[in-house]
Amino acid sequence: MYDDSRTNMSKQIHTPEGDTMLSSVRNACLVLKSFRLTSPELGITEISKLTRLPKSTVYKLVATLSAEGFLEKNPVSGRYRPALPLFEMSQSVLHRIQLTEEALPFMRTLAQQSGETVMLSLYENGEVIWILKIDGPYALKVYSEVGRRNPAYAAASGKAMMASMDRKELDRLFALPWHPVTPKTNIDKAAVRKELEIIRNIGYATQFEEIDEGIASVAAPIFDHLGRPAAAVLVAGAVTRFKKETLKTLGALVRKTALEISRHLGYNTKS
Amino acid sequence: MATTLTSVRNSLRILKLFVDHRQTLSLTDIATKLGTAKSTAFRLITTLEKEGILKRDKETGRYTLGLGLVEPGMSFYIHNTLVQIAKRHLRELLRRTNETAYLFIPHHANAICLESVETHHVLRASIRKGSRSPLIASVCGNTILASQDRRTWHAHIRQYLESTDSYTITRHISMVQRLMQIRSTGYAFYTEYDNPDLRTIACPFFSPSGHILGAIAVTGPTQRLDVSQEKQLVAAVTKTAQRIGAALLKHVQSESRFEEVY
């Protein structure tokens, strides 16, 4: 169900030809990145499939990553998993992002008002990453966890940011190969272009089971002082609760919250 | 292959610099600490930057960690047995004491915070997940160190006091005394090393085979956590540590997965 589209995206990155030293560094990064919230433990064969690297290469890289303390072997399953230093790194990154602190009070209010799970999402290289989560009264037990990545075109927050993204980045994103995350993920690029038009008009984006079955979300972009999309705030909940009327109310709420955060960051509405 | 793995190792050493130093680093900093030519460091950094693992600040030109490895790091946390077991007990401890409650585990010479639940008091101790403190210079770390062997104590004490240029026999002895005290009572109740306005109550917990796994602690302002409450606080923290130990044992027995737990 979870397509590993990230691996494909990484293929876009070019290293100088013949530079095997740097490509091995890049491959080590790919190996580390194949450990996701939904795949916490992986064997050599699985990593080889996900990264499309030969098993022998993966084997050597995993040995180095383990020796350096970045991965550890689960002695019971015989598979590998991320080790403590990666946790330390992720926490230090999340802690540093000032935005989370600035956005927190507004997001708490939104969680109260909507009753749903509220999240903050950043865009990077064609993907969105959730960096803050606040559970509402009806909190979901899904993998809507901090740190999870998904392709931007599948996520409401991704589409919200795509709708106001600069042309160059958007072209780059549309040039990437798109893969469905669930059977409902819309990977029809022309249809998504049209959807972005609508998002620009109504000020919020939606997603129905495009990332997790049974889950829908509504998102709006947060702008920085230069009017660039810096992040997106989103509300996620059971798709059964996101009916037409509710959707409008939620859309308005999310848009209002995003605007408040944007103003707080120095964004001038007129620009 | 030898050289390619050397470059992988060097790039991992770069990442470790960011974990250890918790700050931005310049190309020169990185090359110096790595002991390589700037050009070598630059090529490694550029590769890591392309992968989103490092990020370059356009204004200062300095590097920080990017978002690239946040997901694998969070995967460690979400799927960690100890975190899953401890979370509920820490929340209960927070409810009982109304102070920040957390869990530390040892990692080399440091203690790393795996889970932390913060009180809503305006004046409070902020212990964040993923933060580290030296075993020798934090109350929680001392609690872990106390259950290790004495040769380890001396090595840590000497290294710490020498690094702070304050090595004296008196200091060495007083630290040994503190560790002995913690070991004999089974808990620590002291003001913090880096902030005397904070007091910490910490208690270790062990694996079924008696191996130290970590420590449970509560930290708050000394005015709220005063000596008159020592008994109650110690009872609450000790109980939490015991419950976590018992829950781990149960987990191990039910699934015979001892090795999965630290």
Strand (E) or helix (H) holding A82: strand A80-82
Using a CB–CB cutoff of 8 Å, tell me whether A85 touches chain B: yes
Cα separation, A221 vs A251, in Å, equals 12
Q: Assess contact for A136 and A117: CB atoms under 8 A.
A: yes
Q: How far is CA B165 from CA A267, B159, B174, in A?
A: 49, 10, 16
Using a CB–CB cutoff of 8 Å, tell me whether A146 touches chain B: yes
Whether residue A181 has pLDDT greater than 90? yes
Cα separation, A89 vs A180, in Å, equals 30
Q: What are phi and psi of A234, to 5 degrees?
A: -140, 155
Q: By C-alpha distance, which of A237, A233, A234 is closest to A214?
A: A237
Q: Assess contact for A85 and A70: CB atoms under 8 A.
A: yes
Cα separation, B87 vs B63, in Å, equals 34
pLDDT digits (tens, 9 = 90+) for B138-168: 999 999 999 999 999 999 999 989 888 888 8
Q: CA of A251 to nearest chain B CA: how many angstroms apart?
A: 28
* ipTM (interface predicted TM): 0.88
Q: Model pTM greater than 0.90? A: no
pLDDT digits (tens, 9 = 90+) for A12-32: 344 444 367 789 999 999 999
Cα separation, B7 vs B86, in Å, equals 38
Using a CB–CB cutoff of 8 Å, tell me whether A20 touches chain B: yes
CB within 8 Å: B259 and A28: no
Question: For the stretch A236-248, what's the b/e string if a residue is b when 16 or more beta carbons lie within 10 angstroms of its beta carbon?
Answer: bbebeebeeeebe
Using a CB–CB cutoff of 8 Å, tell me whether B59 touches chain A: no
Residue A190: pLDDT band (50, 70, 90) is very high
Q: How wide is the angle at C-alpha A128 spanned by C-alphas A41 and B132, nearest 5°?
A: 55
pLDDT digits (tens, 9 = 90+) for A24-71: 999 999 999 999 988 999 999 999 999 999 999 999 999 999 999 999
CB within 8 Å: B47 and A41: no
Stretches where chain B sits below pLDDT 50 are: 1, 258, 262
pLDDT digits (tens, 9 = 90+) for A87-139: 999 998 888 787 888 899 999 999 999 988 999 999 988 999 999 988 877 66
β-sheet with B132-134: strand ranges across:
B132-134, B110-117, B100-107, B212-221, B198-206, B188-191
